Amino acid sequence: MARLERSKKGRVIANTTSLGVEVLTIHEVVAYCIREQLMPLIMETSSLIIKKVIDEDWDSPWAISMEVQKI
């Protein structure tokens, strides 16, 4: 089910699913860590779908494919 999400600052993230919000969050965290040179980076997620997609074990669902490519 799609829904409207907002960031902590009230910025509209997207009309998306919880999976889409989690992928967007991971993208923002990775970008922050790269900017701040926080390496090596170890990430954890409770989402098997996101883990398998990032590890390239599974194809990305179309709803999150654009955001996953940015990671």
Beta carbons of 43 and 31 less than 8 angstroms apart = no
Residue 58: its pLDDT value, please? 83
How far does Cα 10 stand from its chain's mean position? 18
Average pLDDT over residues 42-53: 88
Q: Which domain holds residue 58?
A: 3-70
Helix (H, G, I), strand (E, B) or coil at 40: coil
Beta carbons of 64 and 24 less than 8 angstroms apart = no
Q: Tens digit of pLDDT for each residue in 2-34?
A: 555 566 666 666 656 778 888 888 888 889 999
Task: Specify the number of domains making up the chain.
Answer: 1
List CB contacts of 7: < 8 A, sequence separation 6 or more.
13
What is the reported pTM?
0.64
